[in-house]
Amino acid sequence: MSTTGQIIRCKAAVAWEAGKPLVMEEVEVAPPQKHEVRIKILFTSLCHTDVYFWEAKGQTPLFPRIFGHEAGGIVESVGEGVTDLQPGDHVLPIFTGECGDCPHCHSEESNMCDLLRINTERGGMIHDGESRFSINGKPIHHFLGTSTFSEYTVVHSGQVAKINPDAPLDKVCIVSCGLSTGLGATLNVAKPKKGQSVAIFGLGAVGLAAAEGARIAGASRIIGVDLNSQRFDQAKEFGVTEFVNPRDHDKPVQQVIAEMTNGGVDRSVECTGSVQAMIQAFECVHDGWGVAVLVGVPSKDDAFKTHPMNFLNERTLKGTFFGNYKPKTDIPGVVEKYMNKELELEKFITHTVPFSEINKAFDYMLKGESIRCIITMGA
């Protein structure tokens, strides 16, 4: 492409300070350096993680910053040493990576790459610590190594999944974070067998994706647990068959579920980050074979306790990161599940806005109105 090796000037939605609306700015995007690619972003979506770090209530604020990490685009150019990607490839940038060389990448069991594991505090690129974004010479911080709220972005090649060029980017862009996190927690970690029962704690986007995984696996009963009963109707579209609001009961919810299921569910997936829900999710699985999987991210100082007999009675507790998917190796296969009509994505997409109205996406999420809002970059 004619822009290869040159600075590109384009529009980006810049967060100048915590909690303030993003501002459309013209930014300069430097060419990719060693092991980096520059991507033209066509569609991006808003994830709760973007909102959490934009609000900057629980961590060290880093501004100005370009947020965004769920997206789909086309490779514009590649830096030195990049051999598995080339201009024109259809790709999903991903907030975590796969270097291919570390013990985690060599392990069939792990996706927690030593080099490219998620880092929320890094504002530059791994290669040199510098930002590839600037405005009038002033650097703008990256976010999660992706920064997809820009028409062009630079990403480490290990954080880029090459996908089927026939896949519609305005749909499959949501595969690059929350959807895969929930889906994989069920399919790859909980692994329910056909006909088993599954409880899902938390019916936000990740929980609904976990329910979708249970539906695909052929679960006979999918019990949704949430403190917001208004979420229950919507969750039926994702295969949820029964609902429990802990506030409607005067006994612990794990006891309620055990009574509903003759001793406990076969599998549970916790998608809230609440330590109380984590205990409930573990203690509601059946002894002898029950498996509980934790997905939600707790607060820094959280801890929970449960009686050791819960383990000795052969219940299993597991944790997972990004659904145990390796970004480059496995995510193209998740896209193929959609292309083969096994996985339904459209029902996750509740809103669409042009890039110029990106702040509306934040409003929808903060009001709890959206599951996923697609932001169309060219509009």
Rounded Cα distance, 353 and 374, in Å: 6
Query: Is 373 known to be catalytic?
Result: no
Active site residue 49: yes
In the residue annotation, 47 being an active-site residue is answered as yes
> Is 132 part of the annotated catalytic residue set?
no
Q: Which one of 76, 113, 132, 351 is the catalytic residue? A: 113
| Catalytic residue, candidates 48, 122, 127, 221 | 48
Concerning whether 181 is annotated as a catalytic residue, the answer is no
| Residue of 182, 224, 183 whose CA lies nearest to 200 | 224
- The residues pairing with 140 across neighbouring beta strands, listed in sequence order, are 133
For residue 247, indicate whether it is catalytic: no
Task: Check if 271 is active-site.
Answer: no
The active-site residue out of 35, 38, 65, 69 is 69
Residue from 10, 102, 221, 241 carrying the catalytic annotation: 102
Question: Packing angle between helix 358-366 and helix 48-55, nearest 10 degrees?
Answer: 90
Question: Which of 25, 36, 44, 49 is flagged as catalytic?
Answer: 49
SS3 328: helix
Strand (E) or helix (H) holding 243: strand 242-244
Choose, from 105, 173, 271, 373, the residue flagged as catalytic: 105
Task: Give catalytic status of residue 25 as yes or no.
Answer: no
Cross-strand partners of 268: 199, 292
Please confirm, yes or no, whether 117 is among the known catalytic residues.
yes
Q: Which residue among the candidates 25, 36, 70, 76 is catalytic per the annotation?
A: 70
Q: Which of 28, 55, 117, 130 is catalytic?
A: 117
User: Which residue type is seen at 362?
Assistant: F
177 catalytic per annotation? yes
Is 102 a residue of the active site? yes
What is the helix (H) or strand (E) element at residue 317, kind and residue range? Answer: strand 316-319
245: CB partners within 8 A, 6+ apart: 225, 226, 227, 228, 229
Of the residues 99, 173, 271, 284, only one is catalytic, namely 99
Active-site option among 173, 177, 271, 284: 177
- Among the listed residues 47, 173, 284, 373, the single catalytic one is 47
Structure tokens at 324: 């145990």
Give the integer Cα–Cα distance in Å for 42 and 87. 15
Positions annotated as catalytic residues are 47-49, 69-70, 99, 102, 105, 113, 117, 177, 372
